[in-house]
Amino acid sequence: MTWEERWHPLRQEWVIVAAHRQHRPWSGNTLQEQAPRPPAYVSDCYLCPGNVRVSGQHNEHYKGVFVFDNDHPAVGPLAPRDLTPPVGLYRARPASGQARVVCYSPRHDVSLAELEIEEIVALLSTWQAEYRRLGAEPEVSHVLVFENRGEAVGVSNPHPHCQIYATNFVFRTIEVEVEASRRYRLETGRLLFQDIIAAEAQDGRRILVENESAIAFLPYFARYAYETYVAPKRTVPSIAELAPNELLDLAGALKHVLVCFDNLWKMPFPYVMALHQAPTDGGNYGAFHFHIEFHPPLRKPNLLKYLAGPEIGGGCFLSDTAPEEKALELRSAKGPHYRQAQP
Ligand SMILES: [Zn+2]
């Protein structure tokens, strides 16, 4: 039984870990069973090669990674500039920036976990190029790369892809992490994420995989049951700083984690993945450590983690599981991927 509060040093908040709640009686709704594997090409998929998108544009007959401007952008260069001034103390500004879509593969039926290492490296190289190019735009203060995977997080199209929001502001979570990292170095002379890696290595129970230059672990302060961080060991502010050998190691760690996810319940494991990268507004972010965070919404195969009183009402997480136990589960689910394994 774990029943305690753990400090989240990046988010600067407490996480309540009450792992004895996991087995409490449950009589709520459950998610639907996952659909069978889709075909490799779907004629009405807006991401498959050669197909027409809602904008009327045709996708290229692409063979590898394919990037295009989002047809339904949340931020964009065409955002209206002549806003109606709001009443009283309220403020508004144009939602300028750029929204992009990145297809991982021309194949509709594969996931990031099932791509070959070289294909994942090609994707990471694309993320490097997009971060550099978008980040260099004068109006762009931050580049958020993220993937929503699965119906549990609102995505019905399984074609493997992620999105990029290049915005005129810095997302809140990054702002908090940047400030926590900066203050930690000021107060201790040390790097926050390096000390997190050191603590994880010292404990060892939550590490999923480690190679020469990359590491993956469920952090001590995880908020979601299977929350996982994948990071280079060297402190760099963004993925753009990584050398080819570091990209290769990062790809290996990513694949290892994703296969464990899918193998755990023999289903495409839903998650929100986000690259945590330094802002591109010209500031000094030497204390910030680029890393990738996975937030899977499920606690059990058909049971969502609901955000309720503590999370929505109070702004802090209550975790029903201990990351030590969940890491043990994931560690026992390593490769090969269940859909590729020979019977
Ligand atoms: Zn498709």
Contact by Cβ (8 Å): 230, 294 = yes
What's the average model confidence in pLDDT over 191-213? 98
Residue-wise pLDDT tens digits, 297-315: 998 888 889 999 999 999 9
Q: 302 near 34, Cβ under 8 Å? A: no
In the residue annotation, 142 being an active-site residue is answered as no
Q: Which two tokens stand for residue 86?
A: 């709001």
What are the structural domain ranges in the chain? 3-20+43-78+93-331
pTM for this prediction: 0.95
Q: What is the CATH number of domain 3-20+43-78+93-331?
A: 3.30.428.10
Separation of CA 50 and ligand 1 centre (Å):
10
Greatest C-alpha distance within the chain: 67
What is the model's pLDDT at position 77?
84
Higher pLDDT, 311 or 341: 311
Contact present, 108 and 135 (Cβ < 8 Å): no
Compute the distance from residue 64 Cα to the ligand 1 centre, in Å: 13
How far, in Å, from the CA of 35 to the mean position of ligand 1? 15
- pLDDT tens across 262-304, in order? 999 988 999 999 999 999 999 999 999 999 999 999 988 888 8
More confidently predicted of 82 and 190: 190
For residue 107, how far is its CA from the centre of ligand 1 (angstroms)? 7
Ligand 1 midpoint to CA 47 (Å): 5
Per-residue pLDDT reduced to its tens digit, 97-106? 999 999 999 9
Active-site residue among 161, 256, 276, 295? 161
pLDDT at 29: 56
- 47 has pLDDT over 70: yes
The mean predicted confidence, pLDDT, of the chain is 93
